[in-house]
């Protein structure tokens, strides 16, 4: 228990929160530096400045740890917009998700979480995204009557291409491209004043 | 060079091809058994019944090896259909891709290749899929004049949701759901005789 923990000492909050933050930071750094290298708990512990047993006490495996880091990273980073219409909300949100997925460090973390975390890691990578879609669609239902797409359909048409291009095609889509995906989900005339993303971003 | 190589002895083809086949089989088995466990070259070599140096001579890293296995697995497994129309071709093809992605061993291999193989592994997971899309779309252009979707759009609307559901949502889509994705890509009246997949699958 005498290992040097310089990162911990400088952080506010309880010891438990500080350890968690230091370990999360270490994972993000290591994955960004060498995505293909096998991450192990001792390597993470050394970088974080804590004992390996401290890490094992909270996360039994590297997969669990990566899933936890991914859950944190993909929660709360993106805010649900409120432009007054579903089309405007989705257009701005899709552009924000595209911008987030264009960060190479984000992709490195996703790939690592998918590789070591299995289903848990995969679920963590979706993070809040489907819940955010559900919130926007639910609000539209409260706003007006008429057909509204299901969350599943919205995830297929928006998150599908966004994640596919980022993870599989190694070519994250642009915010403009992402905005236009919404027109596939919501066909019909586009109100030019509906484009919250361009006028207010 | 005296390690037992029982698997190799039983296989036809040259020594080089036999080693490659044995190593590929070992990777597929190991990944299916424990996706979250860190795969190493010595572990693969032991399972394949070859020396680790033999593996290192062909594949410098586990990431390269996983990418190679994924490239093999996602090439040639699915045949490009020829139903006489783009809609019919895509409907049958999308259903075949959905069926392939519903195999847990395929998903385990994909996740491992994404995790250890980085961009190379990600590219390997798309395999022949975009080339197959291009072939079907090119054939449609030769068949008739009129608007035909781009390969990029087809990949967004078909491969996006297919891969998203399989990898991220842990809920691979059904063949029926995959067929209906084609109606998002090709809106307009559906000719009931166009449904090659249902009548001939």
pLDDT digits (tens, 9 = 90+) for B17-65: 999 999 999 999 999 987 666 788 999 999 999 999 999 999 998 999 9
Q: Which CA distances in Å does B116 have to A123, B31, B38, B62, B64?
A: 19, 12, 9, 7, 8
Provide the pLDDT for residue A116: 87
Chain A residues 137-196 with CB within 8 Å of chain B: 155-157, 159-165, 167-170, 181, 184, 187
Name which of A149-158, B115-124, B153-162 the model is least confident about: B115-124
Q: Which CA distances in Å does B25 have to A61, A150, B80, B99, B149?
A: 26, 41, 26, 21, 38
Mean pLDDT score of chain A: 86
Please, what are the domains in chain A? 6-58 (1.10.10.60), 79-200 (1.10.357.10)
Is residue A90 a contact partner of residue A135, using CB atoms and an 8 Å limit? Answer: no
Q: Determine the residue among A128, A169, A182 to mutate to test chain B binding: the one whose Cβ has the most chain B Cβ atoms within 10 Å.
A: A169
A60 pLDDT above the threshold of 50: yes
Provide the percentage of residues in chain A whose pLDDT is more than 70.
Answer: 86
Residue A7 banded pLDDT, cuts 50, 70, 90: very low
Sign of the alpha-carbon torsion through B93, B96, B98, B101: negative
Measured distance CA(A6)–CA(B149) in Å, rounded: 56
Mean pLDDT across the stretch B160-182?
Answer: 95
pLDDT in tens, A130-151: 999 999 999 999 988 888 999 9
Query: Which residues in A lie closer than 8 A to residue B122 (C-beta atoms)?
Result: 111, 167-170
A9 pLDDT above the threshold of 90: no
Closest CA to A115 of B173, B99, B107: B107
Measured between CB atoms, does A40 come within 8 Å of chain B?
A: yes
Residue A73 distance to chain B (closest CA, Å): 15
**Searching chain B, which residue's CA lies closest to the CA of residue A156?**
B161
Query: Which residues in A lie closer than 8 A to residue B126 (C-beta atoms)?
Result: 168-169
B96 pLDDT above the threshold of 70: yes
Provide the pLDDT for residue A36: 64
Mean pLDDT across the stretch B110-120?
Answer: 89
Is A115–B119 a contact, with Cβ atoms under 8 angstroms apart?
no
């Amino acid at each position: 228990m005498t290992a040097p923990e310089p990162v911990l000492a400088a952080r506010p909050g309880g010891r438990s929160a500080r350890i968690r933050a230091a370990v999360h930071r270490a994972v993000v750094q290591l994955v960004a530096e060498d995505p293909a290298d096998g991450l192990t708990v001792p390597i993470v512990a050394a970088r974080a400045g804590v004992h390996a047993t401290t890490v094992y006490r909270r996360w039994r495996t590297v997969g669990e740890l990566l899933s936890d880091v991914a859950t944190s990273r993909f929660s709360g980073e993106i805010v649900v917009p409120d432009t007054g219409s579903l089309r405007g909300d989705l257009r701005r949100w899709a552009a924000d998700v595209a911008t987030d997925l264009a960060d190479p460090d984000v992709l490195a973390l996703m790939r690592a979480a998918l590789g070591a975390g299995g289903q848990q890691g995969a679920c963590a990578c979706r993070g809040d995204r489907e819940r955010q879609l559900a919130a926007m669609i639910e609000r539209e239902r409260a706003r007006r009557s008429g057909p509204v797409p299901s969350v599943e359909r919205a995830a297929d048409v928006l998150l599908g291409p966004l994640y596919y291009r980022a993870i599989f095609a190694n070519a994250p889509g642009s915010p403009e491209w992402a905005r236009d995906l919404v027109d596939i989900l919501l066909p019909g005339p586009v109100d030019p004043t509906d484009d919250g993303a361009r006028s207010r971003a």
